[in-house]
Amino acid sequence: MTRHALYGWGRTTPSFATVLNPASEEDVVAALTQNREVIARGLGRSYGDPAQVSGGVVLSNRALGGVGEISSDGVVTLGAGVSIDELLAVSIPAGWFVPVTPGTRQVTLAGAVAADVHGKNHHLDGSFGVHVRQLRLVTPTGTFDVSPERDPELFWATVGGMGLTGVITSVTLQMIRIETDQVLVDTERFSNLESVMGAMLDKDHEYRYSVAWVDCMTKGAHMGRAILTRGRHALASDLDAVTLAAPRSPKLFVPIDAPSGLLNAASVRIFNEVWFRSAPKHQENEPQSLSTFFHPLDGVRDWNRLYGRRGFVQYQFCVDDAHANTVVEAITRLSSSGVPSFLAVLKRFGAANPGPLSFPVPGWTLALDLPVGPRALPRVLDDLDEMVLEAGGRIYFAKDARLGPDKVRAMYPRLDEFLAVKHRVDPEDRLTSDLARRLDLVGS
């Protein structure tokens, strides 16, 4: 097991965590026995502080590797630290794809379970946890194989539990069959938010994958104009030539941090305009590679440097269908605030799963990328929190770095259920993180 340091922020001052790289279950058990404040970490693609613990011990899961054989019905057991990228490198050539993928394949399997990630197919296929058959979990009180049948409370508390119930060492996953490495994509442009939301409500159920990119910088009749892309896996019979190629490594990269202030209302407005105009008004059945369709950002390494040293805030909420108007209000608030926002991502969510901290609830979800800098930003975010709270909605832990405990209790009404399970397997709260400290996610 190797050791190095991770720089993070404590409550008021910056501080370090010790980083360990356990390579076996025994190493994980030893780390949990010998240390008091511990959290697991994958590829660090969460936007906030769930995978760091200032002054404590971070267990990188990357040495917990190994891709098992994919069975004839698509079940595979993987080391917790295997990334979706690494899995796809072997599974696509064999005709299998992950059942759910976030917008980047640079996440580990355990990270995907712990955040219960969702993709463009949540409206039909649910989130990642629904497709997990079994987890191997090391907790301070023992090591368990858990599944929806075997200790369902611990299984579902771990799905979406942000690493606070234990360290996952392996994941058994149900994959989906694909015949080609292409997706057939329909693209449509909409001149305002109402029309794109109407189209999603009408027809999303006919597509396996659907996402809308919404312009939050336009006002008036064009407020929330959007590009809607929807697709399905191409069958061999859809294409002249059939390929099943592993995703390629990115050729492009951003070598330096962009100057702070480069992304301001004017430049973001121009970017959004170009993006909107470059999309076809209406196009059907365009073949796109799996990487282009699912992971466009993975094509540019270190894309986050474009935001400069100040960086950006991700903000993602969901609300049920009865509160669809919250999406409209949020975009109205943003477009009138002068706070620049890149194209926002709007998706439909389908049925929730039994996880008490799983984020998705049926209805709408909106994800925003907001460059840090404008003085109005904190106020706008507070206003969005209030709107989401009023609508009975919630914010995604994997993208949060600023909520407080009161709001979280209101957003996640089953929090005590989660904490009771955590207390059962971790009575001394050895598993903690900066997120858990900030939101008071402790079981005892």
Ligand X SMILES: Cc1cc2nc3c(=O)[nH]c(=O)nc-3n(C[C@H](O)[C@H](O)[C@H](O)COP(=O)(O)OP(=O)(O)OC[C@H]3O[C@@H](n4cnc5c(N)ncnc54)[C@H](O)[C@@H]3O)c2cc1C
Which residues contact ligand X (rule: CB under 6 A)? 39-46, 50-51, 61, 80, 102-104, 107-108, 110-112, 114-115, 117-119, 162-163, 167-168, 297, 398, 433
The nearer residue to ligand X, 144 or 192, going by C-beta atoms, is 144
Smallest distance, ligand X to C-beta of residue 402, A: 16
Q: Least distance to ligand X from the beta carbon of 162, Å?
A: 4
User: What's the closest the beta carbon of residue 371 comes to ligand X, in angstroms?
Assistant: 15
Which residue lies nearer to ligand X by CB, 8 or 102?
Answer: 102
**What is the rounded CA–CA span in Å between residue 233 and residue 179?**
8
CB of residue 48 vs ligand X: minimum separation in angstroms?
Answer: 9
C-alpha dihedral over 169, 172, 178, 184, to 10 degrees? Answer: -60
Residue 370 carries which DSSP code? E
Count CA within 13 A, CB hemisphere, residue 406: 2
Q: Which residue, 114 or 216, has its beta carbon nearer to ligand X? A: 114
Identity of the residue, 244 or 422, whose beta carbon is nearer to ligand X in the bound complex: 422
223/346 with CB nearer ligand X: 346
Q: Supply 270's token pair.
A: 């121009």
Comparison of 223 and 408: residue with beta carbon closer to ligand X:
408
- What is the closest distance, in whole angstroms, from the C-beta atom of residue 122 to ligand X in the complex? 9
Query: Minimum CB separation from ligand X for residue 325, in Å?
Result: 24
16-45 burial, b at 16+ Cβ within 10 Å, e below that, comes to bbbbbbbbeeebbbebbeebebbbbbbbbb
| Distance separating alpha carbons of residues 339 and 422, to the nearest angstrom | 39
Closest CA to 226 of 328, 124, 374: 328
Residue 197 C-beta: closest distance to ligand X, Å: 19
Helix (H, G, I), strand (E, B) or coil at 69: coil
CA dist 204 → 10, 201, 230 (Å):
43, 6, 8
**Least spacing, CB of residue 339 vs ligand X, in Å:** 20
SS3 of 279, please?
coil
CB 64 within 8 A of CB 81: yes
Identity of the residue, 128 or 276, whose beta carbon is nearer to ligand X in the bound complex: 128
Query: Which residue, 43 or 70, is less far from ligand X as judged by CB?
Result: 43
> What is the rounded CA–CA span in Å between residue 133 and residue 301?
32
Find the shortest distance in angstroms from Cβ 115 to ligand X: 3
**Amino acid occupying residue 389:** L
Nearer to ligand X, 44 or 65 (CB): 44
Nearest-Å Rg of the Cα atoms of the chain is 21
| Side chain identity, residue 413 | P
Q: How far apart are CA 106 and CA 104, in angstroms?
A: 5
Quick check: helix, strand or coil at residue 38? strand
H or E element, residue 269? helix 265-278
